[in-house]
């Protein structure tokens, strides 16, 4: 059966530690796409994430290929790689696939379904389908069975295998459903599908042929850790959704810390996933400031005295910075503050300069937060009360979401630093009336 029209296709492939197969597989994919009678044009977006082998240098071979786009993430994150790739697609149809799994029949049939039925937003390659041909090892099949059982428990409304090949209609709504996922690893695809099903979107399932071209890159224990981290994120997300009220502020932290994070937050505001951005004035670049001014959202000041370089002239704040001109890391900052080595007058100077950044760039900040919640340290809290009484403080309670994004940091904070903050004089009243209205999200990069 032939499609009624030709299609332009964006292929997204997350890649991590694939130096041995990436070149061969991409060459094979290009042959399939070139021979297809239904594909008019295509692009391939490779998202390298946290490879510890020679994958990045091997991938440099593709830089001369105009149809191949290479994106990179510092840390290994399957879910974040998918999101980054999908958000950078330019064509209306997408193919999401792992590098080690190519099924030409699925690609052809899936695109025909998409072409002939405008109501279908995703075609899923279902390894559980009775007509699928799974030629993998028993170990990999066991992993899939374990994953499927976990998935069924978390999302009982999804009765197919979700990890692998997908043809996607890349509408704004479908992209938004992806951005709304909180998972960073294997659960991102099933959470994406769940979001689409919840909005009564039509999905189709097709049988697939699966061949094993290499041994798995991750041990079972490693996968269990990755899946467990996603489960924690999902539990926290559901806890928030269960208590969500109208007027909730959904805030995303660290705008400016990287180009990828800033772009993600910009897109998240445009698609109404979040309605607030916390801006790092010490890190933001000029091009990111220009993007800020185009957004209609709530802006929070992310006070930073513990990472990177200050906005002030270093000569004005010598007790805040080391010999390289960088802020002292948080533990040293706190010790120096307690011992009186750090001068409060210099803290006031840097805080004032950071606030002036927003005034100079016409960014109206209404809330304030801080790295490691330094805005709630009594000495700093007093400065902020005196100089900027109009700003609402982000509450300690918002840190509960950090359990799902940075569990080690969260445990350190709640086990050691919170008791110390209280010993220093922090009172619950320091977190103002918005304590129940802010949900804290971190970007996926």
At 240-276, the pLDDT tens digits run: 565 444 455 667 778 888 877 787 788 778 766 677 8
Q: Which two tokens stand for residue 176?
A: 């938004």
CA distance linking residue 49 with residue 23, whole number of Å: 16
- For residue 441, what pLDDT is reported? 42
Integer CA distances (angstroms), 108 to 3, 115, 182, 436, in order: 10, 11, 31, 50
Query: Which residues in the chain land under pLDDT 50?
Result: 1-4, 243-246, 395-405, 407, 426-445
Beta-bridge partners for 251: 276, 440
- For residue 265, what pLDDT is reported? 81
Residues of CATH 3.90.550.10 domain(s) within the chain?
Answer: 7-231
**Three-state SS at 445:** coil
- For residue 122, what pLDDT is reported? 96
- For residue 140, what pLDDT is reported? 82
CA distance linking residue 48 with residue 22, whole number of Å: 11
Report the 10 Å Cβ neighbour count for 378.
15
Terminal CA-CA length for the chain: 41
- For residue 239, what pLDDT is reported? 59
Q: Which two tokens stand for residue 376?
A: 């709630």
- For residue 5, what pLDDT is reported? 54
CA distance linking residue 184 with residue 299, whole number of Å: 25
**CATH 3.20.20.140 holds for 244-442:** no
Instruction: Tell me the pTM.
Output: 0.63
**CATH 3.90.550.10 holds for 7-231:** yes
- For residue 422, what pLDDT is reported? 52
- For residue 443, what pLDDT is reported? 44
Residues of CATH 3.20.20.370 domain(s) within the chain?
Answer: 244-442
């Amino acid at each position: 059966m032939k499609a009624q029209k030709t299609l332009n296709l964006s292929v997204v492939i997350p890649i991590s530690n694939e130096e041995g197969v990436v070149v061969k597989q991409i060459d094979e994919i290009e042959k399939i796409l070139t021979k297809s009678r239904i594909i008019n044009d295509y692009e391939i977006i490779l998202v390298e994430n946290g490879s510890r082998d020679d994958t990045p240098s091997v991938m440099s071979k593709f830089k001369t290929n105009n149809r191949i786009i290479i994106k990179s993430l510092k840390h290994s994150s399957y879910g974040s790689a998918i999101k980054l790739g999908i958000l950078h697609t330019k064509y209306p149809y997408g193919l999401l696939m792992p590098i080690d799994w190519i099924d030409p029949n699925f690609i052809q049939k899936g695109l025909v379904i998409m072409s002939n039925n405008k109501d279908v937003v995703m075609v899923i390659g279902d390894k559980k389908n009775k007509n699928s041909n799974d030629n993998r090892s028993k170990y990999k099949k066991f992993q899939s069975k374990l994953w499927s059982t976990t998935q069924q428990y978390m999302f009982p409304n999804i009765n197919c295998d979700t990890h692998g090949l997908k043809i996607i209609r890349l509408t704004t709504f479908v992209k938004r459903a992806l951005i709304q996922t909180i998972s960073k690893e294997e659960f991102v695809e099933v959470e994406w599908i769940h979001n689409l099903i919840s909005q009564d979107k039509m999905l189709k399932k097709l049988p697939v042929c699966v061949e094993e071209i290499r041994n798995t890159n991750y041990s079972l224990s490693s996968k269990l850790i990755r899946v467990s981290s996603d489960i924690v994120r999902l539990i926290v997300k559901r806890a928030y959704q269960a208590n969500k009220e109208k007027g909730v502020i959904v805030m995303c932290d660290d705008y400016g810390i990287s180009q990828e994070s800033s772009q993600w937050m910009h897109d998240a505001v445009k698609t109404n996933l979040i309605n607030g951005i916390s801006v790092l004035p010490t890190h933001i670049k000029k091009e990111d400031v220009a993007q800020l001014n185009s957004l209609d959202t709530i802006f929070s000041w992310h006070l930073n005295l513990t990472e990177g370089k200050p906005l002030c002239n270093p000569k004005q704040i010598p007790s805040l910075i080391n010999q390289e001109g960088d802020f002292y890391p948080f533990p040293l900052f706190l010790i120096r503050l307690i011992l009186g080595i750090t001068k409060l007058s210099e803290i006031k100077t840097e805080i004032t300069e950071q606030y002036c950044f927003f005034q100079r760039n016409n960014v109206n900040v209404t809330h304030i937060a801080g790295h490691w919640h330094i805005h709630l340290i009594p000495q700093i809290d007093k400065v902020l009360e005196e100089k900027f009484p109009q700003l609402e403080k982000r509450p300690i309670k918002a840190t509960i979401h950090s359990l799902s994004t940075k569990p080690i940091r969260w445990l350190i904070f709640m086990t050691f630093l919170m008791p110390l903050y209280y010993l220093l004089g922090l009172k619950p009243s320091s977190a103002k009336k918005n304590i129940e209205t802010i949900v804290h999200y971190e970007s996926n990069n």
